[in-house]
Each structure stands twice: as C-alpha cells, then as structure tokens.
Amino acid sequence: MQIKDIIKKVKQIEIRTRKKSEATLMGQYHSAFKGQGMTLSEVRPYQYGDEIRRIDWNKTARFREPFVKVMEEERELTMMLLVDISASMDYGTRTQLKREFVAEIAASLGFSAAGNNDKVGLILFADKVYKVIPPQKGRKHILAIISNILTADYVSAPAKIDTALEYMMGIFKRKSLVFMFSDFEDAYDSKILKIASKKHQVLGMRIYDDKDEQIPDVGYTLFRDAETGKQVWANTSSKRWRYDFAESQKQKQRRVEEDFENSSASYMNINTGEDYSRFLYQYFRKK
C-alpha cells in the first residue's frame, strides 16, 4: 500500500468512525467506564441538603461555620489496543481484510476515548511484541494508531496473546481498558488471561472471516497455513471433511469463550461483514 493510499484509507476510516462514535458509542462509553475514583474539587460553605459526611471538620473548626468537601470523578482512563499481526489477520474474502476491519473498530474505540479525554495506546503482537505506541490523547494520535494497524508487517508466526498480556502488565500497573483483537486461532496460556483480567478490564474481540469456519466445495485443494507455511491437500468435495473442519473450528472457539468466561473477561465474535457498533453498544450498556 503506497503512502497516498494509506492516507486516503485513514481519512475514510476517520470519517466513517467519527460519525458512528459520536452518534451511538461515545455516550455509552462515558457511562460504562466511570474512571478510577474520586478527587477533591473544592471546599465551600455548607448548603441545605449537603451530606453530613462531606463536612470538612478542620475548616469548619477554623472558621466556626460548616464547610463541605466537593468531590468529582477522576475521569481519565487509559485504553490499550492489543492487535494480533500474525499472517492470518491479513486475510479476508468479504468486504474487508481482517486488518482493515480491526483498524476501523480501533478507530471507533479510539475516538470514543478521545471524546472523553482518555489516553489510548497500541501494542502490535504475534509470537512476540513487535511495536508499542504509548498511550496519548488526541485526534492525531488516534490517526497514527489507525495507520500503524493498516501498515504493519503481518508476520508468519503464531499469535501468543499471553505474551502480549504479560508485556502489557509489566508496563501498565494502573487499571486499564484492554481491547484485544485476534482470530484466536493459536494456543495460549489461559492462566495469564486470568491474571490480566483481575488487574485490567479485558475484552477479547475475535475477528473472523466466513472461510475461517467453513470451507466450500472446491474439489481437491492445496491449503497453506499462513503462519507456519505448512501445506496440505484436502478433498473439499467430501461432506465429511467439511463437517469435521467446521466442528473442529467450533470446538476451538468454544474453548476460547470458556477461557474468557472463567477468567471473568468479556468476549465477542465479530464477522468482517457485520456492524461492529451494535456489539460495542451492547457491551458498553452491560458495563
């Protein structure tokens, strides 16, 4: 993808996602994520109806009239986007490649966070962490994140989500909102997911294409694993073969769903042709 094409694609994503964020997601995002606590805003004279527990007894004693503490929510949060850049994410048979779909969802989340003055960071990973963009605020920063997702070198290696989570936990001690994008095709240590979910609010977003789950009848075909390079011939005309393939994919994803559920983390499946804003809206409402 050339520079002019990248700029054009980023601008298109910004236009689509900013409208979507402002129209449907931003309010729900703000309601869902309340911040890290309360901080003192001011101390003012007592007014009828103020709670007694808010009285500042030191100032009340000094001035011999009641004063109360006014608290406000400490709103600023950190959102971390963990994006799988293994080769299977650089694939798509519908309207978009998985990487393009991820960039669009990440943009919607990023602009929702920016609208609430929250910071957003990015970790690109596969078998290891390949790139980290520290959390910052602002439109330009979100555009840079979109560009990095679109232009990353997607590598022929398995995606290790536990490695990405361990890395993130080593850097970010404060509780963060963690959105992890992957097709979850590769094995990982579920214990790390459980630890991460205790420290952070984690949502796993499985991005998949129709052909990830079902293979059509196209006769004898040579299949190549994009991540390992392994090749195998298969008779896709065999109903039994197609059934076994679909069942094995279902079982694999069931195990992933169970891992997230057992870890008290959230999880959702989104097809590259679906309206992702509906899924995010429902997730925010539940929170």
Residue 14: CATH number of its domain: 3.40.50.410
Nearest to 91, CA basis, from 270, 276, 263, 226: 226
Which residues, in sequence order, are CB contacts of 266 under 8 Å at separation 6+? 202, 203, 204, 260, 283
Decide which of 74, 101, 134 is a domain's last residue: 74
Residue tagged 């008779």 (tokens): 235
d(CA 129, CA 177): 19
pLDDT surpasses 70 at 221:
yes
Q: How many structural domains is the chain composed of?
A: 2
Distance CA 66, CA 160 (A): 58
For residue 45 the two structure tokens come to 């004279």
Q: What percent of the chain has pLDDT over 70?
A: 87
pLDDT, residue 183, reads 94
The tokens of 252 are what? Answer: 């694999």
Most confident of 10-19, 44-53, 176-185, 208-217: 176-185
User: Do 219 and 80 share a structural domain?
Assistant: yes
User: Poorest-confidence range of 5-9, 49-53, 127-131, 199-203?
Assistant: 5-9
pLDDT band for 39, please (50, 70, 90 cuts): low
DSSP codes of every residue in 58-125 = HHHHHHTS-EEEEEEEE---EEEEEEE-BGGGS--SSSS-HHHHHHHHHHHHHHHHHHTT-EEEEEEE
Closest CA to 154 of 80, 99, 224: 99
What are the residues facing 220 on neighbouring strands?
A: 235
The per-residue b/e assignment along 217-250, b for 16 or more CB within 10 angstroms, e otherwise, is eeeeeeeeebbeeeeeebebeeeeebeebeeebe
Could you tell me the two tokens for 235?
Answer: 């008779």
Q: What is the rounded CA–CA span in Å between residue 8 and residue 115?
A: 23
Can you tell me the distance from the alpha carbon of 206 to that of 27, in angstroms, rounded to the nearest whole number? Answer: 24
- Which of 2-11, 160-169, 223-232 has the highest average model confidence (pLDDT)? 160-169
72 has a pLDDT exceeding 70 = no
Task: Calculate the dihedral angle through the C-alpha atoms of 267, 272, 275, 278, rounding to the nearest 10 degrees.
Answer: 0
Per-residue pLDDT tens digits for 144-173: 999 999 999 999 999 999 999 999 999 888
| Helix, strand or coil, per DSSP, at residue 199 | helix
Pair 125, 100: CB distance under 8 Å: no
Burial of 214 (0-12, 13-18, 19+ CB in 10 A): exposed
pLDDT, average across residues 119-128: 96
pLDDT at 233 over 80: yes
Q: Same structural domain for residues 258 and 207?
A: yes
| 217/198 same-domain check | yes
Structural domain boundaries, residue 115? 3-32+76-286
- Tell me which of 12, 45, 74 is where a domain ends: 74
Strands 266-271 and 201-208: parallel
- Same domain for 107 and 45: no
Q: Do 8 and 52 have their domain in common?
A: no
Residues 59 and 98 in one domain: no
* pLDDT on residue 23: 58
pLDDT at 57 over 80: yes
Among 140-149, 219-228, 271-280, the minimum mean pLDDT is found in 219-228
Give the separation between CA 185 and CA 200, rounded to whole angstroms.
23
pLDDT-derived band at 142 (thresholds 50, 70, 90) equals very high
State whether 231 and 255 are in the same domain.
Answer: yes
Instruction: Look at residue 202 and give its three-state secondary structure.
Output: strand
The pLDDT assigned to 242 comes to 87
Average pLDDT rounded to a whole number, residues 168-182: 92
**Residue 87: Cβ within 10 Å count:** 19
Query: Mean pLDDT across the chain, nearest whole number?
Result: 86
Does residue 130 share a domain with residue 65?
A: no
For residues 137 and 41, membership in a common domain is answered with no
Same domain, 140 and 165: yes
Residues 46 and 167 in one domain: no
Q: Is residue 283 within 8 Å of residue 203, measured between CB atoms?
A: yes
Looking at 74, 103, 128, the residue that finishes a domain is: 74
Q: Are residues 182 and 146 in the same domain?
A: yes
Indicate whether 10 pLDDT > 90: no
**Which helix (H) or strand (E) segment is 248 a member of?**
helix 239-262
